[in-house]
Amino acid sequence: MVGIVGYGAKIPRHRIKVEEIAKTWGADAPSYKKGLQLSEKSVPGPDVDTITLSVEAAKYALKRAGISGSEIGSVYVGSESHPYAVKPSGTVLAEAIGAVKDCHCADFEFACKAGSEAMFVCLGLAQSGYVKYGLAVGGDTSQGAPGDALEYSAAAGSAAFIMATDKDKILAEILHTHSYMSDTPDFWRREHEHYPQHGGRFTGEPAYFAHVMGATKAILDKSGMKPSDFQYAVFHQPNGKFPMRVGKMLGFKKEQIETGWLVPVLGNTYSGASPLGLTAILDVAKPGDMIMMCSYGSGAGSDSFIWKVTDRIKEVQNLCPKTRTQLDEHKVYVDYGTYAKFRKKILKNK
């Protein structure tokens, strides 16, 4: 038996509304809101980055796992906004939570799938017995070029999970995983570029939909389960529309998807997107609930997971701030000028 023994989420407090961005670029806010099914997004403050969000999420995960950082044997951070091009994010995270020094540590990158990759690897390492506790974090302070459609959705947040075979501590057991990939360049960022580029509508059918459908269908086949067997499902959520549509195409109902569907008020947290959705589900799940999760990373691939919630979930849900609480309460709205300053979009002399 292997699974999640602790989880945590961190979402920054700042938000910007779609209207505020649209106003700046003379764009039509209602059509963006309708098209993306998204009304606002989280904004990282100037002192917030993937590392800081990941540290806070990891501290919550440790608290829920009831272990100390020194017991962690592997630390993986999946992101496409690692603050350094060369130098790991994971070492800062590991030092900050005390997971030093006998620890395996690496940064992952696979567009928005980097977080689920880290989860996948930690599950494998825990199951094989190579590590007792593996910490997997998916998080981003996502980039979107000013004025680009991505700017309306690119958001910030991290989710952390600790994987182990410790039966008494597992709060969600992994029953099946499946990974599915091909070389499909729908979205990319070249080295030394500030913002990613994308293939517009090419990011849809041959990219997001093909891979999420591929990974989810395969795991359903593998497990012999059907959509109605699940209480919850979370699919990668680059906008509000895609996860709902892919869920419907696969035979899932809106009610199953809604709990982990954070994007309408969070935005797209890239590597944090489906992992954060999973934390929101775990916050409210009941023992015995079945959860379907499928990530998507451009380039392209999907990892799917089937989780079964255990009795321990009740003991840990209230130990740390819940995802939905962080999302819905104590928000601080910023204007476009402040947002541009926070995100270093203002040109200054060096």
Extract the tokens encoding 242.
Answer: 């895609």
Cβ atoms of 53 and 63 within 8 Å: the answer is no
Near other proteins by CB under 8 A: residue from 19, 95, 109, 148: 95
Examine residue 345 and tell whether it contacts other proteins (CB under 8 A): no
Does residue 258 have an active-site annotation?
Answer: no
User: Residues 176, 306: contact at Cβ < 8 Å?
Assistant: yes
The type of residue at 139 is: G
Rounded to a whole number of angstroms, the distance between the first and last alpha carbons of the chain is 54
Token digits for 99? 């997971």
Q: Smallest distance, Å, CB 109 to other proteins?
A: 18
Q: Which residues touch 53 (CB under 8 Å, ≥6 apart)?
A: 10, 11, 12, 44, 139, 141, 156, 157, 158, 272
Q: Which residue in the set 253, 332, 335, 337 belongs to the binding site for other proteins (CB under 8 A)?
A: 332
Q: How far apart are CB 242 and other proteins at their closest, in Å?
A: 31
Give me the count of residues in the chain: 350
Task: Indicate the DSSP class of residue 97.
Answer: H
Residue with smaller CB distance to other proteins, 224 or 348: 348
| Beta strand 299-309 pairing with 172-184 | antiparallel
Q: Does 75 bind other proteins (CB under 8 A)?
A: no
159 is a contact residue toward other proteins (CB under 8 A): no
Q: Which helix (H) or strand (E) holds 332?
A: strand 332-333
Binding residue for other proteins, selected from 23, 31, 46, 200, defined by CB under 8 A? 46
Nearer to other proteins, 56 or 117 (CB): 56
CB of 315 to other proteins, least distance (A): 14
Catalytic residue among 14, 40, 236, 320: 236
Can you tell me which residue has the tokens 């990011």?
203
- Kindly state the tokens that stand for 67: 């272990």
Task: Verify whether residue 80 is a known catalytic residue.
Answer: yes
Q: Does 328 bind other proteins (CB under 8 A)?
A: no
Which is nearer to other proteins, 41 or 236 (by Cβ)? 41
Query: Closest Cα to residue 96, out of 88, 321, 164, 44?
Result: 88
DSSP 124-166: HHHHHTS-SEEEEEEEEE----TTSGGGGTB-EEEEEEEEE--
Q: Which of 112, 122, 294, 320 is flagged as catalytic?
A: 112
Instruction: Name the residue nearer to other proteins (CB basis): 49 or 107.
Output: 49
| CB of 176 or CB of 322, closer to other proteins | 322
Specify whether 71 is catalytic: no
The token pair at 82 is 């690692």
Residue of the chain from 92, 114, 159, 160 that contacts other proteins (CB under 8 A): 92
The single residue among 24, 127, 317, 325 that binds other proteins, judged by CB under 8 A, is: 325
Q: Give the separation between CA 68 and CA 66, rounded to whole angstroms.
A: 7
The two tokens of residue 350 are 């060096």
Least Å distance, CB 24 to other proteins, is 20
The yes or no reply on residue 192 touching other proteins (CB under 8 A) is: no
CB 35 to other proteins: min, Å:
31
Give min distance, CB of 302 to other proteins, in A: 31
Task: Tell me: does residue 281 bind other proteins (CB under 8 A).
Answer: no
> Does residue 83 touch other proteins according to CB under 8 A?
yes
Q: Does the footprint of other proteins cover residue 350 (CB under 8 A)?
A: yes
Contact (CB, 8 A) for 112 and 295 = yes
- C-alpha distances in Å from residue 188, one per residue of 52, 140, 304: 24, 15, 22
Selected from 35, 45, 124, 227, the binder of other proteins by CB under 8 A is 45
Using the rule CB under 8 A, which residue among 98, 204, 206, 264 binds other proteins? 98
Binding site for other proteins (CB under 8 A): 13-14, 45-49, 51-52, 55-56, 59-60, 62-63, 83-84, 92, 95-96, 98, 318-321, 325, 329-330, 332, 341, 344, 348, 350
Q: Which residues are catalytic?
A: 80, 112, 236
